[in-house]
Amino acid sequence: MDYLEQLNPSQYEGVVNTEGPTMLIAGAGSGKTRVLTFRIAHLIKAKDVDPFSIMALTFTNKAAKEMRERVEHVVGSDARNIWMGTFHSVFARLLRGRDRGTRLGYSQNFTIYDVDDAKTIIKQVVKEMGLDETVYKPNVVYNRISAAKNQLISWQAYLANGELMADDASNLRPEMGRIYKTYQERCFKADAMDFDDILFNTDKLLKDHLDVLNELQQRFKYLLIDEFQDTNLCQYSIVRKIASAYRNICVVGDDAQSIYGFRGADITNILNFERDYPDLKMFKLEQNYRSTQNIVNAANSVIKRNRAQIPKNVWTANEQGNQIELIKALSDNEEGRLVASSIFEEKMQHQLKFSDFAILYRTNSQSRAMEESLRRLNIKYKIVGGLSFYQRKEIKDLLAYMRFVLNHNDEAAFRRIINLPKRGIGDTSVDKLILGANDQGASIWDVLQDPKHFVTGRTIGAIDEFVTLIKRFELEVGRKDAYDAAFDIAKGSGLMKELYEDKTVEGLSRYENVQELLNAIKEFVEDPEKEDKSLSAFLQDVALVTGQDEDKDRDPDKVTLMTIHMAKGLEFKYVYIVGLEEDLFPSQMMLSSRADLEEERRLFYVAITRAQKKLYLSYAITRYRFGRLKNCEKSRFIDDIDPGYIKMSTKYSSMESSPVSSGYARTLVQGIKKTVSSQPLKPKATAYKPPVDFKPSDNALLREGMKVEHPKFGFGKVEKMDFSGPDKKAKIIFDDFGEKTLLLSFAKLKIHE
């Protein structure tokens, strides 16, 4: 068959051996997507397997779409019948279908809460319980609850676990279990599941309802899991249950690229897979088609230092390539200038595009110095992992209206839209309504139908009008497709009118964003592959969009800036890994155990293997962190690379005698030499240029310790709040401008928690 002729011997074995438990260890750039898609195609075309009996799971909609298109290219339209998608999208579909979710007490139209929705509910629960919001921060609580669900620990099991309760007490958060309980009860009452609930409830359904488990076991005779090293205990538990009847489970992954431990990914799933399936067939895809020999060999020399791994020998037949170049900078700002200069020169010398370049860093905060330097040289760039389209306020507002029309119990959506546009219903009235519903054991919709017991005056009339509006929308949704229903809601709610009347640049942008959302819904309705054209189906698609699924840049020729975690699965001709310093990369938070340090090393391995042609590494000997200039030590990971594959860049390294050394750099060198003095020399700061979408936050939300951005002074940290006297003030230590005391009635600050 034609498609089999495109495979190397290892890939061929991985495709044609379709029966029984199989593990494909796929080294970086080894063509795993090709093997996975050809394996699915081979099942259908050569083995005559019914596409409806194949389940293929991955981690992004983008990856699932690419796989489906490749399979369809080989087998035709039958590929559309495969149950293929992300873990969350496939299992949400299962829960909605055939009233399976109703077995657990949910309706078919249950709402899916995104992370922001979940944190909003958590914040409200903490407030209602009278707990300290600075101790029980939504992000901390959410992560704790998420970790529990990933480990299949229900709130009941959590409260009964003495070790967990003791751990919470030692961290001065003894009420964590009670918050978990209340949060889950609140979500259930709202007929809503967060992302983790989709998986947790699927596992619970299969465990508690054996007829459902048997049905799915008989239906899905072949299971394929992509990026298996990124699965958590809950995900593995689900697929093991479904695959247990026919045992045709194929997992594809690379233990060397397991980098999501902080999200609950469990590397032991792939390391111990053979223990669970002793009759396992293992095939290793070791030929790298992406990178030069020098880059592949350098990556191998790094990862071999990890103890916990499946042995493999990644190799390539590609050209030898250049040595890795190491850039040593005097400061983080100097590092940005040297990297930007290198990109500019490489592009001009080799007739490259800006899109051939990527700058990878450990934390998002490192992008600032890079952005400033790129702007100075007029180099176009994009940041991946910033505020996504579906997280913008105006988009979330309209989506919340749609959600509440479909699910009247959705508390997060209700809070968002009840006074939007303004209808005279304040926060106090909203709190009374929700507390009333909780006290009465009623739904928020029940309370809205008869609000006079909880609110008074004109608020009652405003609520009645709101209820009438929602009921009208509900009737329209029942007889219209997603686009017509969404347009009716956007117009009838008054949101479009309010945005249209705002003639500022920001207002125009928000109005255009709403139009773009309606365009997306139109595309959804007109997509021939979408059988269900309802608004409910569209909202499920949107709720499960991942960060990598939204890359629709109209001008793709830009340098890409992103964290290494975001870069996984991508490749670029030229890659710059910046900030290679101890306590930054490896992160200071990942040095407490060998397991954590090995995950950091795997992260470095992933970064190296994104490069196709040339790789640069850079570090600074001083860096501003939390408002203070600190001396830095070169990362241990640089020394992990075999010396034969790396060289110091003389062209792009700051030395006193170097022609690229600026007056700023020389001044800084002199300052460093005077470290015996009490205060390190601070460089003269250049004016900060805020991003185009800079929008100040509400200063009432400002707290000590918060990270902020100022349109003139750039990034800083709130050192002290002063509420004495007639004006509230904040003392802020800015990265480049030092200490400033600002009057909050005038200061324009954007909060970055």
- Which residues form the catalytic set? 32-33, 226-227, 257, 610
How far apart CA 325 and CA 648 sit, in angstroms, is: 6
Taking phi over 0 as left and psi of -120 to 50 as alpha, with beta for the rest, 434 belongs to alpha
Q: Output phi, psi for 261, to 5 deg.
A: -60, -35
Q: Where are the alpha helices (DSSP H) in 46-154?
A: 61-75, 87-96, 115-128, 138-150
Q: What is the 3-state secondary structure (H, E, C) of 144-179?
A: HHHHHHHCCCCHHHHHHCHHHHHHHHHCCCCCHHHH
Reported as type and span, the H/E element at residue 751 is strand 750-752
Token pair recorded at residue 87:
């873990």
Half-sphere exposure of residue 111: CA atoms within 13 angstroms, side-chain side: 28
How far apart CA 453 and CA 8 sit, in angstroms, is: 73
Taking phi over 0 as left and psi of -120 to 50 as alpha, with beta for the rest, 328 belongs to beta
Pairing of strands 559-563, 381-383: parallel
Q: 208: which DSSP letter?
A: H
Pairing of strands 738-743, 750-752: unpaired
How far apart CA 386 and CA 380 sit, in angstroms, is: 16
The secondary structure of 410-453 as a DSSP string is: -HHHHHHHTTSS--S--HHHHHHHHHHHHHHT--HHHHHHSGGG
Are the beta carbons of 383 and 692 closer than 8 angstroms? Answer: no
Are the beta carbons of 104 and 96 closer than 8 angstroms? Answer: no
How far apart CA 249 and CA 221 sit, in angstroms, is: 9
